[in-house]
Every structure is written in C-alpha cells, then in structure tokens.
Amino acid sequence: MIADVPGARPVVDSRLAYQGKVWDVRTDRVDLGESGQVQRDYIHHTGAVAIMALDEADRVYLVRQYRHPVQAETWEPPAGLLDVRDEPPVEAAARELYEEADLRAGRWDTLVDFMTSPGGSSEGIRIFLARDLAPVPEGERHARHEEERDMEGRWVPLTEVLESIWAGDVQSPTIVAGALALDAARRSGWELLRPADAPWRRPPSLLG
C-alpha cells in the first residue's frame, strides 16, 4: 500500500492575502531546501463533510444546488463546512443531513477521505455513509434560507448516479468520490468501511 507523507516545509513568510466570508486566501513563502524558496497562494479552508445517505432500495439522497464558480446547478450529496470549533466530523454530518435532507440516520460509517485541490486549497473532505434512515417529523424540520431555500432534493438509485458519472453528466467531487466509494464498499460486502470516528489526516484548517 502507499500513503501520503505528512509534514510541512518551513514557511519563511505568511500573510493574509484576502479575507472572505467563508474562507481566506493566504500567501506563503516556503523553503524547499535545495530547490529554493517558492511563493504559494492558496485557499485556507475550514474543511467539510458530505453524506451518502443510502436507503433500503439502494437509493441515495441528493440535492441540487447552484454553484456560482462553475455556473451550474450541481447534484451533490448533502454536505457542509466544518465551521464549528471542536465539533466531531460525524456530528457535523448528522447536522447537515438533518438540515439539508430532513433525515436522521441510525448508523454511520466513514466512506472515504480526500483533498479537493491540494495544489491550491487546504480543503479536506470526509464522506460518510448514513444508513438506517428515518424522516424528521414535519414540525421538527430545519427552516432553510438563502441559497438553500430553493434547493431540490431527490432519491436517486445508485446505479443511475454511477451511469450519470460515466456519462460526464455530473461532476461535483463529492458525488463522484462518494458514489464510486459507495459502490466499491457495497461490492466488498461493506468490508472497506471504517468506523465513523476513524483517524483522519485532515489538512490544517481555519479553526486550527
């Protein structure tokens, strides 16, 4: 097996280039030893979680949301930022599933971890598998606002999601990574799953 090698190179200088509403852009000068010093501009991200919610009919719950940088409404699993200090990732995932899908899960497993763009962002994402699902009663549901107000939700067969990926019709990283990992885990008889609190080599985040 192979494994990423954690460890930061010395940072000679670091400054906040841009402070945004959700995440920041930093400019670092990094010492690469014999290769010299280089400047790197990157998004300093909070990190995030996403949830592949699977029902007994092998359907997953997806949401369609407008993503302005790519100017498209993309189909994705429910997801959210790790922007609450010291909140365990699985609790953040449960919160997002409740808020975006009106669902609660009785079983949680870790499906896959990945970095969205390690050359330009510190964002790390953990995708969970949520099963034993139950709908949130009407009177207890989260009131969605702003960009989430008109977000469409739909149950989609996993086979249809995979076909859409291979056709190039859906391209969001969480749906691609999540659906392929889910398919592999299912084919393994769920042996590839890790516990919900499995160790995570999560990149440094805005919250420290």
Report the DSSP beta bridge partners of residue 18.
Answer: 25
Catalytic option among 140, 147, 148, 152: 148
Report the DSSP beta bridge partners of residue 121.
Answer: 43
Q: Verify whether residue 148 is a known catalytic residue.
A: yes
CB 157 within 8 A of CB 59: yes
Q: Which two tokens mark 172?
A: 């969001």
Catalytic residue annotation: 148
